[in-house]
Amino acid sequence: MQAVRGVTLRVAEGETVGIVGESGSGKSVLMLSLLGLLPDNAQVRAQAMRFADGDLGAMSGREKRRLLGSRIGMVFQDPMTSLNPLFTVEQQLTEPLRIHQGLRGAKARARALDLLRMVDMPSPENRLKQYPHEFSGGMRQRVMIAIAIACGPRLIIADEPTTALDVTIQAQILDLLRNLQKELGTSTILITHDLGVISSMCRRVVVMYGGIVAEEGSLDEIFYSPRHPYTWGLLRSIPEAETEHRLPLVPIPGSPPDMLAPPQGCPFAPRCRHAMPVCLRCAAPETELSPTHKVRCHLTHPAAPQVRWEKEGL
């Protein structure tokens, strides 16, 4: 089984790239494979995996773990299961400081306090001694972000960081991530299934489906001139504000492919209303529509039917 294949992903310094796709599209597996966090029986094959001036492909598991927590920070979806319920927030915040920067005692505590202030934690002095169960979901996510930025990472990978939160807290956490990114100049990879989150955070978007990159482009290219039917489906399923002009939500029919037996051709073919016989036989090659816009769909072939994205009426 190949959960992810043929993916090229570049993130420039200070850039925020969004990876979007539904569950099972391969977005989280892609990140876990880069960081060496997949189970032992998983195999990762890549032509190149580089971070700054280091070759991730040549690093041992131990070297990658050292990188993770120091130069790469992770924020996971559910802070309750990511934080250890048996340790105080201070213990969890000072652990990476001790391991990666050798900070201990009063110095580590002072830095932990600074970090809680950076993530706008209310009453940070009192919070240090508390346990995760004493925090709300939003505050727990702030602690996770504080841990992720503790050692001044160059890259933050945020995997569905707001999915478990209600809408107002979601907006606060996204604001926080945006502000920290500006303040610290870190690069960010934001993994989400929510195009609304992508539009408020990212300049560049990677749309994944069935373990491949279906489409990649700037925010404007993906939102205003998308070329892959799966991207069209995602855009049609964004809820709109309740106005008289509101269009009905159109779900994508069917379900994602079983990656234990992936389809031979385009993985989206069984759900695609524009599928042609060629789509069932072979996967589409990557077509470059502009220096930043790439898509894998047979509809971009000059001989294919001319189908264009129009939100209305589709």
Contacting residues toward ligand SF4, per CB under 6 A: 228-229, 266, 268-269, 272, 274-276, 279, 284, 297-299
Nearer to ligand SF4, 136 or 255 (CB): 255
Q: Which residues contact 55 (CB under 8 A, 6 or more apart)?
A: 48, 49
Shortest reach from residue 298's CB to ligand SF4, in Å: 4
End-to-end CA, the chain: 34
Nearer to ligand SF4, 158 or 299 (CB): 299
| Closest CB 99 distance from ligand SF4, rounded Å | 46
Give the span between the Cα atoms of 216 and 214, in whole angstroms: 7
Q: How far are the Cα atoms of 134, 141, 155, 244 from residue 129, in angstroms, in the given order?
A: 10, 17, 28, 51
Tell the smallest beta-carbon distance from residue 124 to ligand SF4 (Å).
49
Output 70 or 287, the one with its CB closest to ligand SF4: 287
The contacts of residue 200 (CB under 8 Å, 6+ apart) are 174, 178
- Residue identified by tokens 């876990």 is 32
- Residue closer to ligand SF4, measured from CB, 63 or 288: 288
- Residue placing its CB nearer to ligand SF4 in the complex, 120 or 286: 286
Q: Pick the closer one to ligand SF4 by CB: 171 or 278.
A: 278
Q: Whose Cβ is closer to ligand SF4: residue 98's or residue 301's?
A: 301
* Alpha carbons 291 and 225: distance in angstroms, whole number: 14
Q: Are 94 and 143 in contact (CB under 8 A)?
A: no
Which residue shows structure tokens 């930043």? 292
Report in angstroms how near the CB of residue 27 gets to ligand SF4 at its nearest.
18
Report the residue number, 160 or 216, with the smaller CB distance to ligand SF4.
Answer: 216
**Cβ of residue 59: shortest distance to ligand SF4, in angstroms?**
36
Its sign, for the CA torsion 51, 159, 32, 120, is: positive
User: Smallest distance, Å, CB 272 to ligand SF4?
Assistant: 3
Indicate if the alpha-carbon torsion angle 123, 127, 133, 138 is positive or negative: positive
- Which residues make beta-bridge pairs with 74? 157
- Other Cβ atoms within 10 Å of 205 Cβ, number: 24
Closest approach of Cβ 138 to ligand SF4, in Å?
38
Task: Give the list of residues 6+ apart from residue 118 with CB closer than 8 angstroms, or none.
Answer: 146, 149, 180
Closest distance of CB 268 from ligand SF4, Å: 4
